[in-house]
A and B are shown apart, each in its own frame.
Chain A
């Protein structure tokens, strides 16, 4: 790989990383609004408020960057980066078209899962360093949440890896057949649930529950640093949606996959992103202990059952 190619790939990932979350964010604005009988943003940019998030970004930049006096200043300032960067790295490992991915790794599934887990450290750092009771409560909730969803997620992914006989995301997509939709369905449900929990999105948004603990770990953040946390949430939706599309929906598989494979991946991921938005619109929030209960009593057994099913089918078919 030449230096130029590396640069090109890096720029492409960065561009996707900056554009796709905004796209998801704007979709959320509009889809949520219409689901609630509203219009959503209509002014910024002229046509149906397409530039609302750009305007928001400009606003965030203008805001004063505050660091509380009692905060652990270095950790406090560094936390948004820790939350944001893992998703950027994870995005680079996702294949969107046969042979097209920014970084080719032999065990990309493992890599992506590992790197996503780092993001939570950012939230923990933010919560602890803020020197704020609400932020601390939020960080503790986030940490507790991490414990409960990480295991079912890993189990669900390992089931797909087992089915494909590969730890590479591209390898999994290559092996994918449409009947996996039914075969891996329980695993898909587990993965989606765990993904929503990882993203701290409703109904699992307890770490940021605004009506309970103000804004959790992000309570004290303002301006650009706050915007980074928001961006990481939407980048997270993008990464999780792509992962779901690649693992469970067959990525680029679809009519004219040779030419339009990338479009299929993006379309599938976008559909998942809309589902994640939809859940937020329709459902209330669970309680932290109820999520733990759900994770250990439902998701983990379900994921283990899926693993068993995958193993059994492979053993029978002998593939």
Chain B
């Protein structure tokens, strides 16, 4: 697959001077219909074949890490759910988990299970988005409408609990902002059942479609070595055969039980490492997450009466020290390195986001492919530009 990346000039014998052809530099983005967001790719093409590619990022840099330093831990949650707007709940979670473990705080059990439930619903929402948008990039216009129909179903219950459709702002240090509404668990169960019953519609447009297979199979093969070298994580890494998932390997929340013996959780992997494998992992993970969410519902219904958060002091100060908390976000590892000097704001809060690493690998992956494949590969890297630029 590796193509010579040297610039070459081809001279065709037309007339005396000959016809010189040169490679063409093509800027895909920052405004381009294929790049969801403002990712810019500078590619050099020979005809339609890509000679080299360079992702140029930073168009959406918002200085999130610097802003964290001048905000207290509740205000940080506001910002933390915005860098990856499709994994808002999971990103909030990383912040509060860091603070809680620094404080040595015990979180009520109902809060743990409710957080797990919401995190998995958020994962389904995220995956549905990409299950809709990826076929769209391959020219199939219908899956996105089916995916959004299901998203709407889940967003409705998320909004009912948290008040937000994307930026939930529902995590607080010590638990959740407020308790779940009465009858909400039943409505979540109903929503999950509805999504499950209509998933075959979405799948029938994607799974086994010969055209889609032709476009994705064997395209953009990512080797496990490259995955390791670039720190690629999440569904993309698992599609290349890396059996890693923090929910199982470094369990937080209630995942230890869910991914333990006899639990509904399982880590979805593929070995091909191509676009099709990545899509398949995403699709199967959606089902696993729905299973997990259903299990959480059962547990929540069986838990005894209890609080969903911890009463906090007026001014929350985190003791001096540092901690790194990593969570398995829908798109991959999301880590917060929190350094506190005992103030009510962090001294430093470093954010490690999944999309940055996942997109960095593009320069390795794209050369040798056609422009049409570029779109197939780009879409299958499942990134959010806010998560790259932070």
Contacts and interface: CB of A to CB of B under 8 A. Distances in A.
A296 to B, nearest CB: 16
B372 interface: yes
B203 to A, nearest CB: 13
A: contact size bracket: 20 to 34
A280 B140 CA distance: 8
B376 to A, nearest CB: 8
A137 B24 CA distance: 11
A235 to B, nearest CB: 22
A187 B123 CA distance: 48
A289 B211 contact: no
Nearest to B31: A214
Contacts of A288: 48, 370, 372
Interface in B32-49: 32-34, 48
Nearest to A214: B33
B300 interface: no
A289 to B, nearest CB: 7
Given A205-B139, A212-B34, A281-B142, A287 B24 contact: no
Given A37-B146, A133-B24, A211-B136, A284 B215 contact: yes
A212 B372 contact: yes
Contact of A137 (B34, B139, B371): B371
Interface residues on B, range: 20 to 34
Nearest to B47: A140
A36 B144 CA distance: 9
Would you list the 9 A-B pairs with minimal beta carbon distance, nearest first? A285-B139, A284-B140, A36-B145, A284-B138, A211-B34, A211-B137, A287-B372, A284-B139, A212-B375
Interface string A193-219: 000000000110110011111100000
15 contacts: A36-B145, A37-B146, A133-B24, A134-B26, A202-B139, A211-B136, A211-B137, A212-B34, A212-B371, A212-B372, A212-B374, A280-B141, A284-B138, A287-B372, A290-B215
A35 B149 CA distance: 13
Interface of B: 24, 26, 32-34, 48, 135-142, 145-146, 149, 205, 209, 211-212, 214-215, 370-375, 379
A298 to B, nearest CB: 12
A290 B370 CA distance: 12
B372 A284 contact: no
A282 B141 CA distance: 8
Nearest to B32: A214
A284 B212 contact: yes
Nearest to A36: B145
A38 interface: yes
A283 B140 contact: yes
Contacts of A36: 141-142, 145-146
Given A211-B34, A284-B139, A284-B215, 15 more contacts: A36-B142, A37-B145, A137-B371, A202-B139, A209-B139, A209-B375, A211-B137, A211-B139, A212-B372, A281-B141, A283-B139, A284-B135, A285-B139, A287-B370, A290-B214
Contacts of B209: 283-284
Interface of A: 32, 35-38, 133-134, 137, 202-203, 205-206, 209-214, 280-290
A203 B33 contact: no
A283 B26 CA distance: 28
Contacts of B370: 287-289
A214 B371 CA distance: 12
A285 B146 contact: no
Contacts of B205: 282
Nearest to B211: A284
Q: Point out which of B137, B372, B373, B379 has the most chain A C-beta atoms below 10 A from its C-beta.
A: B372
A214 B29 CA distance: 10
Nearest to B373: A287
B388 to A, nearest CB: 19
A109 B229 CA distance: 61
A56 to B, nearest CB: 18
Contact of A203 (B136, B139, B149, B371): B139
A125 to B, nearest CB: 20
B356 to A, nearest CB: 23
Contacts of A283: 139-140, 209, 211
A280 to B, nearest CB: 7
